[in-house]
Amino acid sequence: MISRRRVLGRYWLAIILVASCAHALRAQEPPQPRVTIGFIDIEDDPRHEPIRAYERMILKTREHPFVGAKVAIDEAQALSRALKIDFALERLTVKSEAALVPAVTQARESRGIQFFVVDASAEAFRPLVEAVREHDVLLFNATAPDDWLRRELCSREIVHTLPSLAMTMDGLVQHLVSRKWRDILVLQGPAAADAAMTKAFDASVKKFGARIVAKRDFKPGTDPREREKNNPLLLTALNRDYDVIFIADDAFDFARQLPYQTQRARPVVGAIDLEPVAWHWTWERHGAPQLNSRFQRASNGRRMDSQDWASWIAVKMVVQAALRTGSADFAKQREFILGGNGFDGYKGLAVSVRPWDQQLRQAVFLATPNAVIASAPIDGFLHRTNTLDTLGDDEQETPCKLKR
């Protein structure tokens, strides 16, 4: 009779042989394809510096939106095993805007990165577009709302995930018109960003049939010789009545002092009180609480904002394109992203890329500091094909004609 020890020895030998064969087979399998997404930003970018009233007083914090992209790539890991595609996010932080092009070029040539989420000003996209043209690269604009970037630069290499100024102002004016607040006093600050915001607001007012009863420039400060430009009571004293005050103030220092100091008891919108945004931390529908919670954990308690959301959805679109096509091939993924397919942005209506300017059509939230008051497009504002196209440049309204 075979001894018990010999039987056990043969049993363990068989297990070792099976395990060795399995390991050898796995070693022969090709590695899983990998989709790497680059997130490129600029060290000490002034657009992300806190807005201060004095050195000790921070009015607003403005963070780099990398965490939004990181949350999306973490969500993708659950799909990676089922898809047999690996997803990775690589942060590329450069010293200046001039270093963006070399960084993107090197990442494309040496590491094969073809998707980039770009955290940079609108002007930075001019050289970037030239550098990647004729190459298999897609740039996601997550932080520049400038309308000229969609209209004049008009590039096939860019998908704009952040809403344009035209979109946010359209959403705001739709809400005002729906409330029958049609007569508007406009206050404009001295910054170029204030002029751009006012220009977009003017266009939205004309588009939806509201009226600007007066437009006044303000000048921050306390100089008594310029009190007609820096005193809220004097600035808002008009012979003609108005329903609401719109203020464009990128610096925020004057806007913060405007509510409750106006000549008439009127709501203030634009740079303060009621703002049009891509995302807000108080949004409570369509999976938003779970996304906000994941973001807060990943950012050590920071609240998710519009640029964070724009970075998150950019990465999610790449991941979903791989899922829906079952491929890590860039051409197939790009075709899916730009092909009018819907993505769940946790805003209710599915987001998708407009074929004429590659702006991501999406809802715009009208939010106070602590609540979302409404979501545009507002009920009653209709479109022949997609109500989201009531926000921003419709196909016949823009000089950009990328439609394939």
Residue 312 lies in a domain: yes
Letter for the amino acid at 375? S
65 and 182 co-located in one domain: no
155 and 298 co-located in one domain: yes
Q: What are the tens digits of pLDDT across the range 65-116?
A: 999 999 999 999 888 877 888 999 999 999 999 999 999 999 999 999 999 9
- Taking the CA of residue 281 as centre, how many other CA atoms within 13 Å lie in the half-sphere pointing to its CB? 13
Residue 48 lies in a domain: yes
Containing structural domain, residue 51: 34-162+281-362
- Looking at every residue in the chain, the average pLDDT score rounds to 91
Q: How far apart are CA 378 and CA 389, in angstroms?
A: 12
State which H helix or E strand residue 396 sits in: none
Domain CATH for 271: 3.40.50.2300
238 and 308 co-located in one domain: no
Residue 371 lies in a domain: no
256 and 288 co-located in one domain: no
The more confident residue out of 363 and 20 is 363
53 and 155 co-located in one domain: yes
**Averaged pLDDT, 376-393:** 93
Residue 223 lies in a domain: yes
Is the bond into 377 cis (omega within 30 degrees of 0)? yes
Q: Which of 269-273, 382-386, 387-391 has the lowest mean pLDDT?
A: 382-386
Q: What are the tens digits of pLDDT across the range 299-318?
A: 999 999 999 999 999 999 99
**What band does 322 get if pLDDT is binned at 50, 70 and 90?**
very high
Tell me the C-alpha to C-alpha distance, in Å, between residue 260 and each of 38, 207, 265, 266, 345.
Answer: 45, 30, 7, 9, 36
255 and 176 co-located in one domain: yes
51 and 17 co-located in one domain: no
211 and 305 co-located in one domain: no
What pLDDT does 140 receive? 98
Residue 132 lies in a domain: yes
Residue 251 lies in a domain: yes
- Domain limit, last residue, from 261, 277, 293: 277
83 and 58 co-located in one domain: yes
Quick check: 28 pLDDT over 60?
Answer: no
What pLDDT does 17 receive? 58
Quick check: 27 pLDDT over 70?
Answer: no
293 and 144 co-located in one domain: yes
- In percent, the amount of the chain with pLDDT more than 70 equals 92
Residue 298 lies in a domain: yes
Pull the structure tokens for residue 374: 């409404």
What is the dihedral sign for C-alpha 198, 200, 206, 208?
negative
Q: Which of 18-27, 60-69, 393-402 has the lowest mean pLDDT?
A: 18-27
- Domain limit, last residue, from 277, 306, 327: 277
132 and 206 co-located in one domain: no
Residue 367 lies in a domain: no
What pLDDT does 25 receive? 43
Quote the number of domains for the chain. Answer: 3
Tell me the C-alpha to C-alpha distance, in Å, between residue 141 and each of 164, 315, 367.
Answer: 10, 12, 23
Quick check: 1 pLDDT over 50?
Answer: no
**What band does 5 get if pLDDT is binned at 50, 70 and 90?**
low
54 and 15 co-located in one domain: no
